[in-house]
Amino acid sequence: MSPLSIVGDVQVGFPAVRTGYGQQTYGNTQPQTQRATWVRIEPDGSVTAFAGKVEYGQNIRTGLAIEVADELRVPLAAVTVILGDTDRVPWDMGTFGSQSTARVGWQLRKACATAREALLSMAADRLDLPAADLEARDGRVVSKSDPSRGVGYADLLGEQELEIEIAERPTVTPPSEFTQMGRQHLIRVDGIDRVTGRAVYSQDVLPEGVLYAAVIRPPAYGARARSVDFAAAERMPGVVRVVHEGSLIAVLAEDDEAAALGARVATIDWELTPGQPGRFEMPSHLVESGTEPFTMQERGDLGEGFRGAAHVLESSYYIPYIAPAPMEPRAAVALWEGDHLTVWAGTQRPFGIRQELSAAFDMPEERVRVIAPEIGGGFGAKSPYGLATEAARLAKVAGRPVRVAYSRADEMAWSNFRPAALVKIRSGFGADGRLTAWDSVAYHSGERVMIGRRGADTPYDAPHVLSVVYRSDSPLPSGSYRSLGAAVNHFAREVHMDEIAEAIGVDPVELRLRNLSEPRFRRVLEATAEAFGWTGPRLANGHGAGIALGIDVGSYVATAAEVSVQEKEVRVHRVSAALDCGLVVNPEGAANQMEGSIVMGLGGALFEAADFQDGRLLTTTFARYRVPRIVDAPKIDVRFVGDDDAPSTGAGEPGIVPIAAAISGAVFGATGQRHRELPIQRYL
Amino acid sequence: MLTVTVNGVPREVVRGDRNLLSFLRYDLGLTGSKYGCGEGLCGACTVLVDGQPLRACMTTTGAVAGGEVTTIEGVATGETLEDLHPVQRAFVEEQAMQCGYCIPGFVMGTIGLLNREPHPSAGQIREALAEHMCRCGTYQRIEKAVQRAAGGEA
Ligand code: FES
Ligand code: FES
């Protein structure tokens, strides 16, 4: 127990849960407990903060620690942030949609502001000084008029055990008084653990007596085992047991190699599902299987818009599936202790996985603990985490802890891809390039309709607009990926804007400005053009330049890129980007996220594509699935142009939204060839 | 009896055909070396053998018997910046990481590079680390960290 705990309601997450998106995408996870401790001041005056988010590279631990330290007026080093352990942290829907700083950070700030006010009033009594004369600083409350008079938080709280409620409207610190938020921080709070190898990821969890499982996965999507012959596997040294329960087929062994070898010698008769569309059929398959048309945006009357147009332009854009391919393949470890289950799983939704486990074993959630350790990248893909249940089932059968880990090939095939999409755009515009009509129809593969809908509305001022999104069949498992479908929709729209600019001979920046009244869009575009030194798509040295803008998770973004093209290789030399995400809590962390999004988006723009035929994934290794390497990385400069008094919006996803179109535009500048299909290098 | 010295401690090689990465991670519990691909294509498993970087996933304990293996745990285990190896410190100072999963491999690859070439050019850095993968895309920071560690301009 701590001297001071600040408690409050858990957050029902992501606002979209109420629209049904969260329910549809992530299951109907609901908080089991409505109340939780958010912040504790410990007996030694240090501070512990709790959040249901997980750390998968977005540097949330540092971001939250900075907010807590600033709001509570303690040094950053005094703050510990506990994340992603269902037994310890407030319920949370999951870490996605760049919501961590925006929502959880705000809740923690309110909790800390409440605590600070309570400490100030306790100190006023203790020191017998007027509250107006007191201020909190460096873990102490001190008198402003006589700084020699003061008391540390630990002394002030002493032995008591106080629990207070987060105030409705505590005095949170205004930006002008920040001492830590918005400043450059030289190190991240978990940086040293990461360079010393101490940081524990789910691949690294090895409890005493753990058995290594090799789970045998189908050779193709839709394949089912007719029969399994384990005779040879059972004779392998080190193999402890074999399991075939429904679709779960596994070899358990004392070490990883014995398990893998056992799995290799198992003889399985697979029943395949014939007739699955392959990669070359995808563009037509998307259109033919399109269903559930959903109107994203509708205003005016298209007929009238096109009648009033001096020019009409129509183009289609195709974006193949791409793989998230995080560096850490998924792993899960399950441990049964009596009727209590603990599972370590590097998932973005530990509470959702807890619920799945409780359902799978028909036991109350209180007896299930899910711990999300450090996660080696996820980019949205690690919300589903079937390995958790597999590990728990196998551990139950074996009576020992069991570790299930994906190989690289498993991670490539049995994750979820960013949906493939086809977008058709027809625009009408005047001789000056001002849009009169915008007609966009998009087909995105996959069940989760919200993925394709994200970012499908145009920010440009056309008076007559219709944007419709269809859900199409998905031969590959598809799901969340950084920015969902926004990067895809933005690619189509922004390349189209470049085509309009070219058609009437206007500069792409100028063309966009003529069609943009929203000042936040204009500001990011102008800031990017200025930082980049924008002079148009064709550069003197034979290089090309491209620029694009967008919005995602409430943040406005623009990006410009310079490329050169040699035969089949595009080299991206430099990228400038401007982001307006409101108040930036941790500029270094946000810049890092922007840089990462840009590099990731570069891969999808130039060379990433998941290839498949007859239900088989062909790109299961890094030898066949090219991801950006250090030699591909451009020089990137990022500037933040938002207002400090605007609420923080996401920084982890917007960077990927405009980059592919900027690169396409730059390749056009260099070669005169317009690229409406990704990845560009396949079409050079 | 075959032995391999890991971070200065001689270890018995029970099975010479044991994969070196599995041996380090699962038999010795040195989980700082990461599994990323198991086929020599990502660099997450990089260790030093007699000072030179090697993909642990692509070799066996038998193949390195008699040698000196250094893993990230053998570089420096300090709690503070001052207690770290200069390469580790440079990665922290440049915030050259996101999820961090690739970072032990990059640190080992960088130490190997600086062993061979204490003042690498930008081109040499890129070439030496070209086979390492950082899916989080922190390459620009990694390059700066290597330059900083090499005493160059960061
Ligand atoms: S795990 Fe060894 S190179 Fe990828
Ligand atoms: S920091 Fe995540 S893979 Fe490099």
pLDDT per residue as tens digits for the range A592-604? 999 999 999 999 9
pLDDT, tens digit, 9 for 90 and up, residues A315-348: 999 999 999 999 999 999 999 999 999 999 999 9
Chain A, 357 to 386: residues with Cβ < 8 Å from chain B are 374-379
What integer pLDDT is reported at residue A1 of this predicted model? Answer: 62
CA A464 to chain centre: 33
Residue written as token pair 């949906």: A419
pLDDT, tens digit, 9 for 90 and up, residues A273-302: 999 999 999 999 999 999 999 999 999 999
pLDDT over 70 (residue A19): no
Nearest residue to A188 (alpha-carbon basis) of A97, A53, A291, A55: A55
Tell if the CB–CB gap between B92 and A197 is shorter than 8 Å.
no
**Taking the domains of chain A in order of start, what are their residue ranges?**
4-196, 204-269+348-405, 289-322+417-683
Question: Which residue out of A327, A375, A600, A629 has the highest number of ligand 2 atoms within 8 Å of its CB and is therefore the one to mutate?
Answer: A327
What pTM was computed for the model? Answer: 0.95
Chain A, 46 to 75: residues with Cβ < 8 Å from chain B are 55-59
Closest ligand to C-alpha of residue A633 is 2
Average pLDDT score over residue span A158-178: 90
> Can you tell me which atom of ligand 1 is nearest the CA of B38?
1
Identify which of B80, B93, B139 has the shortest CB distance to residue A186: B93
Tell if the CB–CB gap between A59 and B138 is shorter than 8 Å.
no
Q: Which residue of B has its CA nearest to A574?
A: B140
Nearest residue to A8 (alpha-carbon basis) of A65, A50, A44: A50
**Taking the domains of chain B in order of start, what are their residue ranges?**
2-74, 81-149
pLDDT over 70 (residue A362): yes
Q: Does A637 touch chain B (CB under 8 A)?
A: no
Share of chain A above pLDDT 70, in %: 95
Structural domain A4-196, CATH architecture: 2-Layer Sandwich (3.30)
Helix, strand, coil share of chain B (percent; to 5): 40, 15, 45
Helices B139-149 and B86-93 pack at an angle, to 10 degrees, of: 140
pLDDT over 50 (residue A46): yes
- Domain A204-269+348-405 matches domain A289-322+417-683 at the CATH topology level: no
What is the DSSP code string of A159-195?
T--EEEEPPSS--PPPGGG-SSTTS--SS-TTHHHHH
Beta bridge partners of A333: A344, A403
Q: Is the CB of B139 under 6 A from ligand 2?
A: no
Residue pair A588/B140 in contact (Cβ under 8 Å)? The answer is no
Cα-to-centroid distance, A621 and ligand 2 (Å):
18
DSSP-derived 3-state class of residue A216: coil
Decide if domain A204-269+348-405 falls under CATH 3.40.50: no
* Ligand 1 binding pocket, CB closer than 6 Å: B 35-38, 40-45, 55, 57
Q: Does A184 touch chain B (CB under 8 A)?
A: no
Consecutive H or E run containing A73: none
Tell if the CB–CB gap between A256 and B18 is shorter than 8 Å.
no
pLDDT over 70 (residue A20): no
What integer pLDDT is reported at residue A24 of this predicted model? Answer: 45
Consecutive H or E run containing A80: strand A79-83
pLDDT, tens digit, 9 for 90 and up, residues A557-583: 999 999 999 999 999 999 999 999 998
Q: How many angstroms away from the CA of A596 is the closest CA of chain B?
A: 4
The residues near A554 (Cβ < 8 Å, ≥ 6 apart) are: A102, A581, A582, A649, A650
Q: Which residue of A has its CA nearest to B33?
A: A197
Decide if domain B81-149 falls under CATH 3.30.70.2610: no
Query: For residue A147, what are the CA distances in angstroms to A74, A113, A142, B77?
Result: 17, 22, 6, 40
What integer pLDDT is reported at residue A589 of this predicted model? Answer: 87
Identify which of B44, B103, B138 has the shortest CB distance to residue A595: B138
Cα-to-centroid distance, B101 and ligand 2 (Å):
5
pLDDT over 70 (residue A250): yes
Nearest residue to A205 (alpha-carbon basis) of A384, A84, A372, A398: A372
Q: Which residue of B has its CA nearest to A589?
A: B95
DSSP-derived 3-state class of residue A528: helix
Decide if domain A289-322+417-683 falls under CATH 3.40.1280.10: no
Query: For residue A513, what are the CA distances in angstroms to A52, A522, A674?
Result: 41, 7, 22
Average pLDDT score over residue span B45-72: 97
Nearest residue to A598 (alpha-carbon basis) of A567, A626, A561: A561
Consecutive H or E run containing A320: none
What integer pLDDT is reported at residue A101 of this predicted model? Answer: 64
Residue written as token pair 């631990």: A61
Burial class (CB in 10 A: 0-12, 13-18, 19+), A430: middle
What is the CATH code of the structural domain delimited by B2-74? 3.10.20.30
